[in-house]
A and B are shown apart, each in its own frame.
Chain A
Amino acid sequence: MPDIQLSPAALERLEEIRLAAEAAKDKPAALGPDIDITRFTTVSEHDRIASLDSLQRQIKETALMSGFDTDESNRSASYFQLDRSPIYERVEKAFDNAIEIMSTQEALALYGDELIEKYWWRAVDPGKDKYTALAALHQTEGYFIRVKAGRKVEKPIQACLFVSESNVSQNVHNVIVVEDGAEANVITGCNVHTDVEEGLHAGISEFYVGKNAHLTFTMIHNWAEDFSVRPRTGIVVDEDGVYVNNYVLLKPVKSIQSFPVAKLVGDRSKAVFNSIVYGMKDSYIDLGSETQLIGEDTRSEAVARTVSLDESTVYSRGRLVGRTNSCKAHLDCRGIVQSEGSTQWAIPDLASEGAPGAELSHEAAISPIAAEEIYYLMTRGLPKDEAVSMITRGFVNIDIPDLPDVLRKQIDKAIEETSKEAM
């Protein structure tokens, strides 16, 4: 860590965080297979680059698969981290005064007291489990993005966390702050180099959506077959704020377990979670989200579409916790199991904590594509495989706003391939 001048209160807080993390060092997570984290070393450092053009071709192409555009014309700002080093960050001139983007270490150096007081481990508990502890004790950077009050940035901000080495763990800590009245659209891709075998990504993400602010966060995961992923995400939404989370996983992964928690503390705030998950090969996937409806008239919606193939195991969870009488929320999770070797769980979970007026509901279904739908499209002239592919694409084609074309195409392509495989 660079030399940082901190107030006594901030130093005290950092010590609290350290103690909480130390205590949780060996604490397994509540969900997902346990990982022996001592097997991994920390990722290494790299030199900075002057432009994204100078990235290795293979890194560029892999990054593109998760929506990171190295030609930045359709992006307002970019952050690229290779292993442990933030090697590139840039804000387009037009957004110079609207967006700050840097590594969290740089942000600590610049805004230490403020960051620690308001945002540092405030939405995620460092003592939650060994992965939060790992990130707290052995942090390897991560991004800090702040969109200034009242600034509406339509063009996406992009961030890429890239792992190029085997047998390492990348332990990032990300913070996004969208100040009051601001709007932002963040696309993050997490990638591993095609040569990488085993590895671990423990990513802490804390998002703060201000009053009347709007954050759309789209994450495309592009891992490797022997890679384990344990993100820990917390979101806090203030009055009239809106948080939209889009998650797409289309590639095999050894195991991923993630359960972001959104706290709707402000009145009339809202959280939406959309996810499209393809379970492939022997992936172990345990994903879900929790929304705590705390403020008056808060709303939430979670839509999950899961297709599982091969020998994959997929858990699709959703939890809604109503703590106010005027809240309303709905979960909608549907799955298709396309292989006899695959297992899928849909686990909707609703709780009203002392809120007799809370309206919480869910629809969960796991079922095959109906034969009559296939025959129906065949009577319009589609061969069977194309009919199945069109229906599968329709099944996962939840209306994700602001999804860039390249991602839409990428999703279509993956669906095309997987539905062929399933025939």
Chain B
Amino acid sequence: MASEQPDALLQIEDLHVSMGDREILRGVDLTILEGETHVLLGPNGGGKSTLLNTIVGMPGYRITQGRILFKGIDLDDMEIDERTRMGIGIAFQRPPAVRGVKLRRVIDVAAQGQLDDAAIGQLDEELSLGHMLERDVNMGFSGGEAKRSEMAQLLAQMPDLALFDEPESGVDLDNIAVVGAAMNALLKGEGRISERTRAGLIITHTGHILEFVNADVAHVLYNGRLACKGNPLDLIEEISSHGYDACVECKLCQTFS
């Protein structure tokens, strides 16, 4: 690898994934370099969440062909927690409630005990966690609370690759701004552009989150394949005026792989 080129953090090659008997991903190729933020668009049922769940290693998602390399290492057969410790993190769209396990405890786990009270105080301030810290994680959380809780856990973990499953769904505008700011802090940090190494992959339906987070490139996942790639804002505009069916046929998709 040439040293002036950013390294490939995630390389997905010809990935086919089935759930039960149903093939959901049918040959996905995707490379995310260090410092890049990608957006994943596409209709419901197109396989966006399947792709994220397969990357983190959720059981039930069976790779029938192809592979996923993270930092050059094949993730096949690696447990969820091993992938997490390698530097993959995820903010779920609808995280499950865990009775009796406080959000503060989960933040400690995500940070591997590296956060002191001051750091947790800062997270609290940025994401207005307040009493949520002492509540059972996701138990009775509102839409906005659940997203802020997920962001707090990711900020505690500071993964090299952060996956976001619809960070703006079910969230009001105020909360989108808070979540967006946290995503920026995670992905862009304080340093100069050339020093950024953290990468992101964001699933979004509406593109609202892109008003707060700059993304480098967007893909449309359609019928189990990445059908189209382009400038995120252009693609979203195209999709909102003409729909996905027209989009995947259009001229914007010159770089179709």
* Contact indicator B85/A381 (Cβ below 8 Å): yes
| Residues on B with beta carbons closer than 8 Å to the beta carbon of A391 | 98, 100-101
Contact pattern, B 163-185, Cβ under 8 Å of A = 1, otherwise 0: 00000000000000000000000
Q: A55 interface residue, CB < 8 Å from B?
A: no
Pairwise interchain contact A390-B59, C-beta atoms closer than 8 A: no
A46 at interface by CB-CB < 8 Å? no
Q: How many residues of A contact B (CB 8 A)?
A: 23
Contact B80 A379 (CB under 8 A): yes
Q: How far is the CA of A338 from the CA of B106 in the complex (A)?
A: 24
Q: How many Å lie between the Cα of A395 and that of B110 in the bound state?
A: 20
Indicate whether A379 sits within 8 Å of B84 (C-beta atoms), given known contacts A384-B79, A390-B105: yes
Q: State whether the Cβ of A1 lies closer than 8 Å to any Cβ in chain B.
A: no
Partner of B81, one of A378, A394, A398: A378
Taken residue by residue from 106 to 121, chain B's Cβ proximity to chain A (1 for < 8 Å, 0 otherwise) reads as: 1001101000000000
Q: A370-B96, A383-B79, A394-B136 are in contact. Are A377 and B101 (CB under 8 A)?
A: yes
Known A375-B59, A375-B80, A390-B105; contact A381-B110, beta-carbon cutoff 8 A: yes
Please pick, from A371, A382, A393, the residue contacting B109 in the complex, using a CB distance under 8 A: A382
Q: Judge whether A93 is part of the interface by a CB distance below 8 angstroms.
A: no
B129 interface residue, CB < 8 Å from A?
Answer: no
Q: Say yes or no: B56 contacts A379, CB within 8 Å.
A: yes
| A284→B59 CA distance, assembly (Å) | 37
B81 in contact with A382 (CB, 8 Å):
yes
Distance of A292 from chain B, by nearest CB (Å)? 30
In the complex, chain B residues whose CB is within 8 Å of the CB of A111: none
- Cβ–Cβ contact A381 & B109, under 8 A: yes
Q: How far is the CA of A373 from the CA of B89 in the complex (A)?
A: 16
Decide: A397 near B58, CB < 8 A? Known: A377-B106, A380-B110, A381-B157.
no
Which residue of chain A has its CB nearest to the CB of B98? A373
Within 8 Å CB of A40, what residues of B? Answer: none
Structural contact, A376 and B95, CB atoms closer than 8 A = yes
A195 CB–B CB distance under 8 Å? no
Q: Is B75 on the interface with A (CB-CB < 8 A)?
A: no
- Bound-state CA distance A372–B99 (Å) is 13
Majority DSSP secondary structure for residues of A touching B = helix
| Neighbouring B residues of A382 by C-beta, 8 Å | 81, 109
B199 at the interface (CB under 8 A from A): no
- Distance (whole angstroms) from the CB of B59 to the closest CB of chain A: 7
| B90 contacts chain A at the CB level, 8 A cutoff | yes
Contacts of A397 in B (CB 8 A): 100
Nearest to B112 among chain A residues (CB) is A381
Nearest B-chain residue to A392, judged by Cβ: B100
User: Cα distance A370–B96 when bound, in Å?
Assistant: 9
Which residues from B are CB-within-8-Å of A396? 100
Chain A residues 358-386 with CB under 8 Å of chain B are 370-373, 375-384
| Most interface-central of B95, B96, B157 (chain A CB within 10 A) | B96
Query: A394 and B99 in contact (CB under 8 A), knowing A377-B109, A379-B90, A380-B157?
Result: yes
Nearest-neighbour CB distance to chain A for B68, whole angstroms, equals 16
Q: Which residues of A contact B110 (CB under 8 A)?
A: 380-381
Chain A residue numbers with a CB within 8 Å of B153 are 380
Query: Of the candidates B58, B97, B106, B109, which one forms a contact with A375 in the assembled complex, judged by CB atoms under 8 Å apart?
Result: B58
Q: Which of B79, B99, B100, B106 contacts A380 (CB 8 A)?
A: B106
Chain B residue with the shortest CB-CB distance to A390 = B101
B80 near A378 (CB under 8 angstroms)? yes
Chain B 37-69 residues near chain A, CB threshold 8 A: 56, 58-59
Chain A residues lying within 8 Å of B98, measured Cβ to Cβ, are 373, 376-377, 391, 394
| B109: min CB distance to chain A, Å | 5
Q: Is B141 an interface residue (CB 8 A)?
A: no
Q: Name the distance in Å between B106's Cβ and chain A's nearest Cβ.
A: 6
Contact: A393 with B79, CB < 8 Å? no
A394 and B96 contact, Cβ closer than 8 Å, known pairs A381-B81, A383-B79, A384-B81: no
Interface residues of B in 209-226 (CB under 8 A from A): none
- State in angstroms the CA–CA spacing of A196 and B81 once bound together: 45
Q: Which of B90, B97, B99 gathers the greatest number of chain A CB atoms within 10 Å?
A: B99
Q: Provide the residues of chain B in CB contact with A394, threshold 8 Å.
A: 98-101, 136
Contacts of B89 in A (CB 8 A): 379
- Closest-CB distance, A377 to chain B (whole angstroms): 7
Question: If the complex has contacts A375-B58, A384-B79, are A395 and B99 also in contact, measured as CB distance less than 8 A?
Answer: yes
Q: CA separation between A394 and B96, bound complex, in Å?
A: 14
Of the listed residues B84, B90, B92, B136, the one surrounded by the most CB atoms of chain A closer than 10 A to its CB is B84
Q: In the complex, which residues of chain A have a beta carbon less than 8 angstroms from the beta carbon of B99?
A: 394-395
Cα–Cα, bound, A148→B181 (Å): 59
- How many whole Å from A291's CB to the nearest CB in chain B? 24
A371–B58 Cα gap in the complex (Å)?
10
Within 8 A of B (CB), among A260-319: none
Alpha-carbon distance between A378 and B98 when the two chains are bound, in angstroms:
13
Contact with B along A90-111 (1 / 0, CB 8 A): 0000000000000000000000
Closest chain-A Cβ to B43's Cβ sits at a distance in Å of 25
B143-160: which residues lie under 8 A (CB-CB) from chain A?
153, 157
Report chain A residues within 8 Å CB of B92: 376, 379
B58, B81, B157: the one within 8 Å of A383 (CB): B81
Measured in the bound complex, the distance between the Cα atoms of B101 and A371 in whole Å is 15
- Give me the interface of A with B, judged by CB distance under 8 Å: 370-373, 375-384, 387, 390-391, 393-398
Which 3 pairs, one residue from A and one from B, show the smallest C-beta to C-beta distance? A394-B100, A378-B80, A394-B101
Known contacts A372-B96, A395-B100; 14 additional CB pairs below 8 A are A371-B59, A373-B98, A376-B96, A377-B106, A377-B109, A378-B84, A381-B81, A381-B109, A383-B81, A390-B109, A394-B136, A395-B99, A396-B100, A398-B100
CB<8 Å pairs between A and B, sample of 18: A373-B96, A373-B98, A375-B58, A376-B92, A376-B96, A377-B98, A378-B81, A379-B56, A379-B89, A379-B92, A380-B109, A381-B157, A383-B79, A384-B81, A390-B105, A391-B100, A394-B98, A396-B100
